[in-house]
């Protein structure tokens, strides 16, 4: 495509898209995924939705590309078994398990694309000035809870109500349980302002990290109580989130290799959903 990929536009372009253009792009991508899920003769699960797979044509219209990992569902199918498919940081939790997947894995991937479009930041930035900003979804959720969403767009003038609504859509899409995630049709309706958006629950299994005396966080995090999990499943906010002192860990498995090579004095970090410790 003449204008490259969405990744190039957001992260490498000389001029990043303005607010109104980014809102349109986010809706374009959502409509494209909806077409794959509900408007094709046979539903298609893309399995690898991310900015580098979204191309921009001469008119800056988005085109979803690269169906090498895609799964085709039969008319009577809603789920299918598959090997692990996708890219770390964009993969739904069920993609790592020996369980069937549904179109909801693409919904999960879209949430990160949406946040990247809003913030013009990659889903993971090992060069971030603050540890809490390394994982984009963690940082955005913290800003959302603290009612400080202006931080994620900096000095740019944006429609604050639209920003809040789009962040809420993203946080609904990141829910661990597939049944809690909206369909792409619902996502499109919410982005278009046709459907109201309720406050999303905590987008993880209640995992938080309390800061230690050096501010790097505790060694581990206890899972949410049964009552909290039931509250989460009902779609209500978990009460245990302290935006000033907690970090929410998303369902992402990643490893930061030797940050010293990048000029950081932080050493190496290995983070996953069950453990966080400085090596």
219 domain residue, yes or no = no
- Considering 20, 28, 48, 275, which one is annotated as catalytic? 48
- In this structure, is the dihedral angle defined by the CA atoms of residues 118, 221, 130 and 245, taken in order, positive or negative? positive
180 domain residue, yes or no = yes
Residue 255 has pLDDT above 80, yes or no: no
259 domain residue, yes or no = no
124 domain residue, yes or no = yes
* Catalytic site includes residue 66: no
| Number of domains into which the chain is organized | 1
Q: What angle do the packed helices 104-119 and 160-173 form, to 10 degrees?
A: 150
pLDDT per residue over 134-151, tens digit each?
A: 889 889 999 999 999 999
- Please give the share of the chain, as a percent, with pLDDT higher than 90: 43
Which residue range forms the structural domain that includes residue 29? 6-201
209 domain residue, yes or no = no
CATH at residue 64? 1.10.510.10
DSSP state of 151: G
pLDDT per residue over 158-170, tens digit each?
A: 999 999 999 999 9
pTM: 0.71
């Amino acid at each position: 495509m003449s204008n490259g990929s969405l990744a190039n536009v957001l992260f490498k372009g000389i001029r990043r898209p303005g607010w109104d253009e980014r809102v349109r792009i986010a809706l374009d991508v959502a409509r494209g995924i909806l077409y794959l899920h509900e408007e094709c003769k046979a539903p298609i699960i893309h399995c690898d939705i991310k900015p580098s797979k979204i191309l921009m044509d001469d008119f800056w219209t988005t085109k979803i590309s690269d169906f090498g990992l895609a799964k085709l569902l039969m008319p009577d199918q809603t789920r299918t078994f598959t090997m692990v498919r996708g890219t770390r940081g964009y993969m739904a939790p069920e993609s790592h398990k020996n369980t069937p997947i549904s179109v909801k894995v693409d919904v999960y991937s879209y949430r990160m694309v949406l946040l990247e479009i809003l913030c013009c930041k990659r889903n993971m930035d090992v060069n971030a000035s603050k540890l809490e900003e390394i994982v984009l979804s963690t940082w955005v959720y913290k800003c959302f809870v603290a009612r400080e969403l202006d931080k994620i767009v900096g000095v740019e003038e944006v429609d604050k109500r639209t920003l809040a609504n789009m962040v809420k859509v993203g946080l609904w899409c990141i829910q661990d349980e597939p049944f809690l995630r909206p369909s792409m049709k619902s996502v499109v309706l919410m982005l278009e302002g046709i459907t109201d958006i309720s406050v999303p629950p905590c987008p993880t299994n209640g995992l938080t990290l309390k800061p230690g005396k050096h501010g790097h966080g505790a060694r581990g995090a206890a899972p949410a109580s049964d009552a909290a999990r039931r509250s989460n499943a009902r779609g209500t906010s978990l009460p245990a989130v302290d935006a000033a002192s907690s970090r929410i860990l998303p369902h992402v498995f990643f490893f930061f290799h030797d940050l010293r090579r990048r000029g950081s004095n932080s050493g190496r970090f290995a983070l996953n959903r069950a453990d966080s410790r400085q090596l």
